[in-house]
Amino acid sequence: MVLENNAKGQKYHHHKDAHHHPHADSGTPAIGVQKSGTREIKVVRRVLDVNEKMAAENRKTFAEAGVFVLNVMSSPGSGKTTTLEKTLANIMPEYRSAVIVGDICTTHDADRLAISGAPVVQINTDEFGGDCHLAAHVIDKAASGLDLADIDLLIVENVGNLVCPAEFDIGEDSRVVVLSVTEGEDKPAKYPLMFRECEAALLNKIDLLPYLDYDKDRAVEYIHQVHAGMPVFEISARTEEGFGPWIEWLKNRIRQKI
């Protein structure tokens, strides 16, 4: 079984003939001499370890300041910003909140969220190469513009993308994913990592259900196939239907930390 070989940490040595043979790894010195005139130097480092270290530092900073950090991810157009506008309206002033918004371009989302009265830091990722996600160092920089002592809840609105943000720890306490009933029911199956990495899912735009052929039960089934027991909050950010249980869940999560 391929899997067993890999799991046992066997590796490939490269010979002149360019054929790759697996060899047992036991007792391999740190520097091996290769027949082809190369020598192998063990590295064994996670490619993203710079991000992971920064995320750990962020997490420490947020813990010391008593800030609960929520990383909100979704595909573009799922209603993430409207959901957050309404979430802020329901959670403030009980919990002092701030928002970091990531977008590849424009400050539209930040402008909308600022109406809530919460401090908003906008990050346009094209300064960082048009990134498809927010990385930990970007959050560190954005958070330095906020007075963390005056904040209980920091919401990070990630870049609309169901792939990459799931890969990058930013030092958050919880991750939630927003999907909407105008997307395919099988989104969770197409982007399993996102749905596995998130603690809860918000199924948005349920006010549109009468006009769609969307099979809501099937969507929830897909979510639970990928992430058994995942809480799913059926909401309409437009009408605020279903917001009660979602806000209650969020408050509970915040109280667990601060």
- Residues at the interface with other proteins (CB under 8 A): 1-3, 6-7, 11-12, 14, 20, 31, 33-34, 37-48, 50, 129, 131-133, 161, 163-164, 166-167, 188-190, 192-193, 196, 224-229
State the maximum Cα–Cα separation within the chain, in Å, rounded to a whole number: 69
Q: How far is the CB of 57 from other proteins (least distance, A)?
A: 18
Q: How far is the CB of 138 from other proteins (least distance, A)?
A: 12
Residues in the chain, total: 258
* Alpha-carbon gap, residue 134 to 51, rounded angstroms: 10
Which residue lies nearer to other proteins by CB, 3 or 105? 3
* Alpha-carbon gap, residue 155 to 32, rounded angstroms: 48
Which residue lies nearer to other proteins by CB, 91 or 226? 226
Which residue lies nearer to other proteins by CB, 181 or 230? 230
DSSP characters over 81-136: HHHHHHHHHHHTTTS-EEEEEEESS-SHHHHHHHTTTS-EEEEEGGGGTS-SS--H
Q: How far is the CB of 175 from other proteins (least distance, A)?
A: 15
Coil/strand/helix, residue 159: coil
Which residue lies nearer to other proteins by CB, 20 or 60? 20
Whole-Å CA distances, 74 to 44, 58, 105, 176:
32, 22, 17, 8
Q: How far is the CB of 252 from other proteins (least distance, A)?
A: 22
Instruction: Give exposure, 117-129, as e/b (b: 16+ Cβ within 10 Å).
Output: ebbbbbbbbeebe
Which residue lies nearer to other proteins by CB, 137 or 257? 137
Q: How far is the CB of 43 from other proteins (least distance, A)?
A: 5
